[in-house]
């Protein structure tokens, strides 16, 4: 009876050992699957699943060490492909961001260069206007003596005309005020 009991205990112990060893192998596989699902969830939310996929690969490696199960190998390969695609996508996004940033910098430089050219043109125009103004002032000061003489003659003539008009107005007033009868008709 002791032999039967010891054989039975040995059998139970070996079954338990097999169950726990299988469960240990299966546990890493299941943990890997859970990590992949978490990574997929993160991916749907727009976040990077890279960390979750890395952890899942590690769990699958552990499971592969203790088992040659085809499902573990297949899942390992699938997650490895996903991880590579994720890295490629991140690299493409980085390259695109770099290109956009470079284009923006070129546009900014172009605008800045155009502004500098415009500022230089405006400064040159202002300098030209100042120079022209100075030239006109100098011509006014150092102008042709004939022009000065002509201007003085014009002023003198205008002054004389103005004086003559005033005198004519005064004469008309005196004539009107002398009491000449209106019978004569037109006084002028």
Number of domains in the chain: 1
Q: Which helix (H) or strand (E) holds 182?
A: none
DSSP characters for 6-48?
HHHHHHHHHHHHHHHHHHHHHHHHHHHHHHHHHHHHHHHTTS-
pTM over 0.75: no
Examine residue 129 and state whether it is found in any structural domain, yes or no: no
Examine residue 69 and state whether it is found in any structural domain, yes or no: yes
Q: How confident is the model at residue 98 (pLDDT cuts 50, 70, 90)?
A: very high
Q: Is the pLDDT of residue 53 over 60?
A: yes
- Per-residue confidence (pLDDT) for residue 21, from 0 to 100: 56
- How would you class 58 by CB atoms within 10 Å of its CB: exposed for 0-12, middle for 13-18, buried for 19 or more? middle
Examine residue 135 and state whether it is found in any structural domain, yes or no: no
Examine residue 140 and state whether it is found in any structural domain, yes or no: no
Asked if residue 38 lies in contact with residue 52, where contact means CB atoms within 8 angstroms, the answer is yes
Examine residue 23 and state whether it is found in any structural domain, yes or no: yes
Examine residue 78 and state whether it is found in any structural domain, yes or no: yes
Examine residue 49 and state whether it is found in any structural domain, yes or no: yes
Domain hosting 57: range is: 2-109
Q: Is the pLDDT of residue 99 over 80?
A: yes
Q: How confident is the model at residue 101 (pLDDT cuts 50, 70, 90)?
A: very high
Reported as a single tens digit per residue, the pLDDT across 115-127 is 888 877 777 877 7
Examine residue 41 and state whether it is found in any structural domain, yes or no: yes
């Amino acid at each position: 009876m002791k032999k039967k009991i010891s054989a039975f205990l040995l059998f139970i112990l070996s079954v338990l050992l097999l169950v726990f060893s299988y469960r240990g192998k299966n546990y890493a596989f299941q943990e890997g699957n859970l990590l992949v699902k978490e990574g997929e969830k993160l991916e749907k939310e727009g976040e990077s699943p890279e960390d979750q996929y890395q952890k899942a690969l590690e769990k699958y490696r552990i499971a592969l060490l203790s088992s040659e199960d085809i499902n573990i190998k297949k899942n390992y390969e699938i997650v490895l492909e996903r991880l590579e695609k994720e890295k490629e996508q991140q690299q493409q996004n980085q390259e695109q961001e770099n290109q956009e940033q470079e284009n923006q910098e070129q546009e900014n430089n172009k605008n800045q260069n155009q502004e500098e050219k415009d500022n230089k043109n405006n400064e040159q125009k202002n300098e030209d206007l100042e120079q022209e103004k100075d030239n006109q002032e100098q011509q006014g000061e150092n102008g042709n003596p004939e022009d000065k003489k002509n201007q003085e003659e014009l002023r003198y003539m205008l002054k004389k005309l103005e004086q003559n008009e005033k005198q004519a107005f005064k004469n008309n007033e005196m004539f009107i005020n002398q009491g000449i009868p209106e019978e004569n008709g037109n006084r002028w």
